[in-house]
Amino acid sequence: MKIRKIWLLALAATASVSVGINVFVLGSLTERYFSDYLSESYKEHTEQIADYTRQALLSDEISYSKMSIELETHLDDPITRIKVYSPEGELLVDVKDDYHLDMGVGSHMMDRMMEKFQEKVDSYYIKQGDEIVGIVNVTKYSSEENSIVAARFKSSLFRNSLLSAAISGCASLALGLAISRKMSTELKDTEELAESIQLGEFGSATKSYIDEVDSIRRILAELGIRLKLRQKSRKELIDQLVHQARTPLTVLKSHLEAIEDGVVPPDEEEIRICQNQIENLTAIISNISRMIDASKETAEVEVEEFEVGDMLRQIVTGLRAQFEKKRISLELESSDQILARTDKYKVSQAIYNIMTNAYKYTEPEGKVTVSYSTGEGMFKVEIEDTGIGIESGDLEKVFEPYYRSGVVQGMGGEGIGLHIARENLNLVGGSIWVESKFGEGSKFTVSVPLEIGFGGDIYDEKTIREI
């Protein structure tokens, strides 16, 4: 059963019960107060009749016909007849109400109702001191509730109650239809929002006047945003894997071509360089599990001890053939020995990405220099090139994913290399910044703690594993 039909049935039942209770309570109270009113009215009339009769019998100026006219004014429900007797029992005045038997429309029903009504006579002695000057007999219905006015009032109350119930029912039905139509529209819009999220369209949620529906829409919208971010995160991860895999493959290709062309001998050094690139590819492939487990939001940090100079020499040696093929000078200017305990792969990948950027944006006959130093529990790596440089307005944007300056739009690349470098360095508590002068070149500086966690950093969002 649809919610619209359920709502209408519930509204109709509630309206019927409410109207029934209101009619019963209001009818009971009204009838009680009306009965009290008739009783008070009867008491007032009998007191007035007794006072007037006493005055008339003691006065020689008031005739019996005049008394009849005056007493007729008191023939009001529940009084139907008034008789005045002398102390000896002689009938002096007799007035009665013949109107109660003529009730117009619906008189047959009222006649049948009145047939069972009985009349009652109340006698009052009219005294002047201790002397009885007359007797008044007041005929009325056996009770005020059995009077014509009371019967007509009850009949009118019943008819009006039915009419008000009908009007209330129609109004409730009309209102229920309007509200249910609005509710159905709100729920239909919410259903469409959920379907759009299911289809990956991630539509925006409009505000609903129903708090519960609005809350559901807000939750669905937030779910859509999280799913969109999850999809974007998965895309970024795939792009990172592709980008990271390209560097060792390029190095392997350039070295194999150099060996094939006889430019470099296939000695032990070349074999070690190729082995290092294969290890990098192996590490990249092992990260595919993170891509498959899209719900995993923690990043794993693999801590190992290594010598920074050896790592940089391996990177420079691996890229040298590629740089020489483009006629770019690549030099490692430092030779100090620095031991570090951190994630070697992530740091080396960051350095690779910076250096491949330097290679890409440095013209032939240009120069790229790498230097490193240590101090205050950190080691720094500076990579300086004589490339095209970065405009001042782009310095803060180059680390954003997929950002590419208008100056390099015609060149290859996806715009995620520097973003990956920054993310990797953030994971090990490091940082990266750039200084550049457009048209002259750039200098990237990488700063990494000698030991992960140095300085009190807390890695509560990462899994640290010793290898």
Residue 285 shares a structural domain with residue 399: yes
Backbone torsions φ then ψ of 380, nearest 5 degrees: -115, 140
Q: Which residues pair with 448 in a beta bridge?
A: 379
Residues 455 and 366 in one domain: yes
How would DSSP label each residue in 383-430? Answer: EEE-SS---GGGTTTTTSTT---GGGTTS---S-HHHHHHHHHHHTT-
In a domain, 243, yes or no: yes
**Residue 303 domain-assigned?**
yes
Q: Which of 172, 206, 238 is the last residue of a domain?
A: 172
- Residues spanned by the domain of 420: 226-466
Q: CB neighbours of 192 closer than 8 A, spacing ≥ 6? A: 203
Domain presence at residue 212: no
Give the separation between CA 362 and CA 387, rounded to whole angstroms: 4
Query: Is residue 180 situated within a structural domain?
Result: no
β-pair type (299-307, 462-466): parallel
- Tell me the residue type at 88: E
Residue 230 Cα distances to 236, 284, 293, 416, 461, angstroms: 10, 20, 11, 17, 17
Q: Domain check: are 232 and 165 in the same one? A: no
**Is beta strand 378-385 parallel, antiparallel or unpaired with respect to 131-141?**
unpaired
Tell if the pTM clears 0.95, that is, is over it. Answer: no
Domain shared by 167 and 231, yes or no? no
pLDDT, mean of each 10-residue run, the chain (467 residues): 62 72 72 75 86 86 86 82 89 79 46 57 87 88 64 73 77 74 73 71 66 75 71 67 70 77 76 77 66 54 91 88 90 91 91 90 93 93 93 85 68 74 91 92 94 56 58
Q: Are residues 151 and 255 in the same domain?
A: no
For residue 450, what pLDDT is reported? 93
Residues 122 and 265 grouped into a single domain:
no
Residue 415, domain member (yes or no): yes
Residue 211 lies in a domain: no
Please indicate, yes or no, if residue 153 is contained in any of the structural domains.
yes
CB 349 within 8 A of CB 419: no
Per-residue DSSP letter, 451: B
Return d(Cα 336, Cα 371) in angstroms, integer: 10
Same domain, 278 and 410: yes
- Cα separation values, 287 from 241, 251, 305, Å: 8, 20, 21
> Do 134 and 246 have their domain in common?
no
CATH number at residue 83: 3.30.450
Question: Does residue 314 sit in the same domain as residue 428?
Answer: yes
For residue 195, tell me if it sits in a domain.
no
pLDDT for 268:
79
CA dihedral 307, 310, 315, 316 (to 10 degrees): 140
Question: Is the domain of 137 the same as that of 272?
Answer: no
CB atoms within 10 A of CB 410: 6
- CATH number of the CATH domain containing 421: 3.30.565.10
pLDDT of residue 101: 45
Domain count for the chain: 2
Angle at 446 between CA 445 and CA 447, to 5 degrees: 120
Same domain, 149 and 233: no
- Does residue 241 sit in the same domain as residue 140? no
